Amino acid sequence: MVNIAILGFGTVGSGVAEVLAKNSAHIDQKVETPVRLKYILDVRDFPDNPFGDKIIHDFATIENDPEVDIVVETIGGAGVALDFTRRALSAGKSVVSSNKELVAEHGCELLQLAARKGASYLFEASVGGGIPILRPLSQCLAANELTEVCGILNGTTNYILTRMIRAGLSFDAALREAQANGYAEADPTADVEGHDACRKICILAAIAFGRHIYPRQVPTEGITGVTLADVAYAESCNKKIKLLGRAIRQDDGRICAYVAPHLLDGENPLSGVEDVFNAITVKGDAIGDVMFYGRGAGKLPTASAVVADVMDAARHIKSRKRVEWGPGGEDVTVSPERLETAWYVRAKGRVDAVRAGFPGVALLSRSGAPAEEVAFLTPVMTGAEVLERLGALEPQSLFRVLD
Amino acid sequence: MVNIAILGFGTVGSGVAEVLAKNSAHIDQKVETPVRLKYILDVRDFPDNPFGDKIIHDFATIENDPEVDIVVETIGGAGVALDFTRRALSAGKSVVSSNKELVAEHGCELLQLAARKGASYLFEASVGGGIPILRPLSQCLAANELTEVCGILNGTTNYILTRMIRAGLSFDAALREAQANGYAEADPTADVEGHDACRKICILAAIAFGRHIYPRQVPTEGITGVTLADVAYAESCNKKIKLLGRAIRQDDGRICAYVAPHLLDGENPLSGVEDVFNAITVKGDAIGDVMFYGRGAGKLPTASAVVADVMDAARHIKSRKRVEWGPGGEDVTVSPERLETAWYVRAKGRVDAVRAGFPGVALLSRSGAPAEEVAFLTPVMTGAEVLERLGALEPQSLFRVLD
C-alpha cells in the first residue's frame, strides 16, 4: 500500500485525484501495490465534491503521518510550496510536482535534500504538460552528449501566434480570444512576456547539461512586440514566427540560454506545431535531432504526467530515483549576445540604408506596407553587429531566424 | 565495473563500440561505475580495426565468463540470435537488443526468461532507431489507458514516398535512389512490403496493451502498389500518402493492428514527417495525442539507443528493470476488416458508376488522367462495403484516409 497526499485542489490537483481514481485498477497493477489517495490539502472546503472527505487544512497532518509516502505538490509558486516541499522531503516523503517556478528556482537544493533523505523529487509535469520529456532526456538520451535543447514551451503564446498567422488577428484580439477559450489567464503576463517558457528552458537545460540555471540568467523576450506586419513578412519567405526557449552548450561547456520570438523555416519540424501544442527538440552527438510533441498544458494531460511520476516514485519507495544536477553559478551561463544567427529586421528607413549596411540582402515585401518600411533577412552575425550596421534605419522588430 | 559483450560487429554493433568509447567518461559518471567493452563476437576478424583485439569467435567464452554482465545482441534475425539470447539470459546476463524480428516473434518468452533469471531484456533500439519511444510508452504514459499507437515506422519507405511526392519520381526510380544513398538494401523486400513496420507495430502494441501480438496476426500491405497517380490525387485534396503501422484497442479489449498505406490530412502531424524520419503518435485517455519524432535508423542513432539501454541495465544489475507483457493468442487480435474509416479509391470505370455506388462524393482530378479513370474519397465505412459498392468499377488503389 502506498499513500498519497495532494497539496492544492485546483485544476491540476483535482485532475490528479480524478486520474488516480479513474485508472485505479490499471495503476495498482502496474505498481504492484494499491495506491491510495489519503489527503487533499487546501484552504477551501469542497463539501459537494466526490473527494470532499479527503480535504484537510493543516500540512502538519501530512508531515507527521508516517503512512504518507508521496506528496503531490500542485500549489504553484515559490512561497508556501517551497516550505511544504522542504518539510515533506525532510520527513523522508517523496515529492511529485508540476510547479515549474519552484523547480527552476530551487530544483538543485530540493534534489539534494531528496538525495540526503533517500526520497525522490520528480517533476515531469513541470515541462510540456503531458509530453514525456524530462525522463527521456535523462534516461533514453543518456548515451549522448547533448548539444542543444529548443522548444515551443508555452501553449498560450503558441495559440496567440497561430491565430495571428492563420486568422490575421492582432496580438490583442488573439489574446482576448485565448482568454475567452480558457487558454490564457486574466493576467497573461507570465505567458506573453515569456517568463513561463523561461522557467521551462531552465529545467530542460539543467537536466540536459547537468548544472542549475536560474531564470535571471536567461534573457527573456515575449511576444507582445510581434505584429501582423511581422507575420506577413515571415509568410512572404515561407517562415513562421514562434516563441522559442533555447539552451545551447558552447564548446567551453557553458550554456547559452534565452527565450525570444524566432522566424522558423517551413521545413523545421517546430514550424508545424500549432495552437496550444508544445514541442521540444533535442540535439545529441549520436542521435541527431529528436522531437517530442503534444499538449503542453491542460488538466488531464498534466495530471497524467504527475500520476506517472507518482507511479514511478511508488515503485522506488525503497530505492530512490536518481535525477540530479550540479549547483548553479554565474560561470555556468554565457550571454546570447555572442550567438551568431541570421536575423529578421523590420525597420523604418530607406532602401539605400539597407543596401549600405547589408549589401546583397533581398528585401521582403507585404501588401499594405507603409512608405519607408523595410524588412529583410541578414547574413549570420551577432545582434550587436546587426544594430551597428543599421545606421540610419530605425528598427521596429528584430528576431533571430532558424533553418 | 560492468563488462559488456557485443554480438555481431556490423553497422549497429560497431556503432555501439564507438559510442561506448567516445562517451566513456560521461557514461561511467552516469552509471557510477566503469563500463568496459570486453568482447565482440563475430565470425570475421578485424585486424586493422581499433576494436580488433576484442574480437572472439566462440559464444561459449561469453556465456561462461562470469565477468560479463550485459550482452548486446546486434546480430539480427531469429536464428542464432535467439539461441545466444536464450543462453545469455539463462546465464543470468542482461541482454540489450536492436533486433525487432526477434522481439516481435519471441519477446514474451525472452522477457519471461529474463524475469526468472533476475536479468533485464531491453530493446529500445528495435523501434524508431534513436527515438526514445518504448520507455516513455511503458513509464511516462503509465497513468493513461492507451487507445491507439500509430506511426511512420520505416525510414526507407518514407524516403521513397517523399521522393515520389516531392520530385515526382516513380516508385522504381525512388527505390533505386534510396539504394544509391544507402537508405535501402539490395533486397528491399522487408522494407517495401511492410514487414519491418509490421514487426515494429507488434512491439509497440505489446508494450502499449500488454499482450504479445505476432507478426502473422497483423495484415500487412507495403508501398509497391502506390503510384504517381495516387500521389497526385492525394495532393489534389491536400493529403499525403504515408505507410502507417497502427494498433487500436477495441472496446472489448482486443487489438486491431495492421500496416498499410494511408492518405493523411495535411493537418495531421504525421503528414509533415519526411525523408528517412520516423514518428510515432500515442493516444491516451488523459494525455490526448503525443508524438515522438526523429531518425528511425542509422548507425549512431540506433547505437545511442542501445547504449542508453546498456546504461539502464548497468544501473539495475541488482534490481531488474521491469518491462513485461502477457502471452499472445488468437483471441488477442481482431481483423481490421471491421474497422471503419474513409477510403481513397482510384478505379477504372465511369462517373455514373461512382454516382450510383457512392452518391454525393466529390471526384478528385489530376492532370493527364486517362479516360475512364475515377478517384474519390468515400464516407466512413468498412473495406468490404467499399468493394461491394464499387459495382462495375475496377479498383486500382484502395487506401484508408485519416484526418
Q: Indicate left, alpha or beta for A106 from its phi (over 0: left) and psi (-120 to 50: alpha).
A: alpha
Phi, psi of A327 (to 5 degrees): -65, 160
pLDDT, mean over chain B: 94
B312 contacts in A (CB within 8 Å)? 139, 142
**pLDDT greater at residue A325 or residue B322:** A325
C-alpha cell at B259: 500496416
pLDDT interval class at B354 (50, 70, 90): very high
Q: Most B CBs within 10 Å: which of A14, A72, A140, as the mutation test of the B interface?
A: A140
CB B41 within 8 A of CB B57: yes
Question: What pLDDT does B324 receive?
Answer: 81
Q: Is the pLDDT of residue A138 over 90?
A: no
pLDDT tens for B64-75 read 999 999 999 999
C-alpha cell at B30: 552516469
Q: Is A3 on the interface with B (CB under 8 A)?
A: no
What is the residue-averaged pLDDT of chain A? 94
User: Residue A381: helix, strand or coil by DSSP?
Assistant: strand
- Please list every residue in chain A whose beta carbon sits closer than 8 Å to the beta carbon of residue B141: 132, 304, 308
Closest Cα in chain A, distance from residue B266 (Å)? 10
ipTM: 0.88
**Is pLDDT of A401 > 70?**
yes
B2-26 confidence digits (pLDDT tens): 999 999 999 999 999 999 999 999 8
- pLDDT band for position B318 (cuts 50, 70, 90): low
Amino acid B292: pLDDT: 96
Angstroms from A33 CA to nearest CA on chain B: 15
The set of long-range contacts for A321-324, using a CB threshold of 8 Å and a minimum separation of 24, is A321/A120, A321/A122, A322/A115, A323/A111, A323/A120, A323/A121, A323/A122, A323/A134, A323/A138, A323/A207, A324/A111, A324/A112, A324/A115
Q: Does residue B369 have a pLDDT over 80?
A: yes
Q: Is residue A211 within 8 Å of residue A255, measured between CB atoms? A: yes
Q: Does residue A169 belong to the interface with chain B, where contact is any CB pair within 8 Å?
A: no
pLDDT of residue B321: 58
Which carries the bigger pLDDT value, residue A183 or residue A88?
A: A88
Closest-CA distance of chain B to residue A313, Å: 11
Percent of chain A clearing pLDDT 70 (strictly above) = 99
Contacts of B107 (CB under 8 A, 6+ apart): B123, B203, B206, B212, B325
pLDDT of residue B288: 87
Q: Is the pLDDT of residue A319 over 70?
A: no
**For residue A321, is pLDDT > 70?**
no
Task: Just list the catalytic residues of A.
Answer: 200
State the average pLDDT over residues B166-178. 96
- Strand order through the sheet with B94-97: B55-56, B35-41, B2-7, B68-73, B94-97, B121-122
How confident is the model over A147-171, as pLDDT tens digits? 999 999 999 999 999 999 999 999 9
Which of B124, B144, B300 lies at the smallest CB-CB distance from A286?
Answer: B300
Number of H helices, E strands in chain A: 14, 14
- Inter-chain residue contact A288 with B307, CB threshold 8 Å: no
Phi, psi of B142 (to 5 degrees): -60, -25
Alpha carbon of B81: minimum distance to chain A alpha carbons (Å): 24
Cβ contacts of A290 on chain B, cutoff 8 Å: 130-132, 292-295
Q: Do A124 and B145 touch (CB under 8 A)?
A: no
Indicate whether B319 pLDDT > 70: no
pLDDT given for residue A143 in this prediction: 83
Q: What is the pLDDT of residues B90-146, one digit of tens each?
A: 999 999 999 999 999 999 999 999 999 999 999 999 999 889 999 899 887 888 889
> What is the 3-class SS of A212-223, one letter each residue?
CCCHHHCCECCC
Question: Taking residues A228-257, what's their average pLDDT?
Answer: 97
B19, B27, B143: residue with CB nearest A311: B143
Q: Report the percent of chain A where pLDDT is more than 90.
A: 88
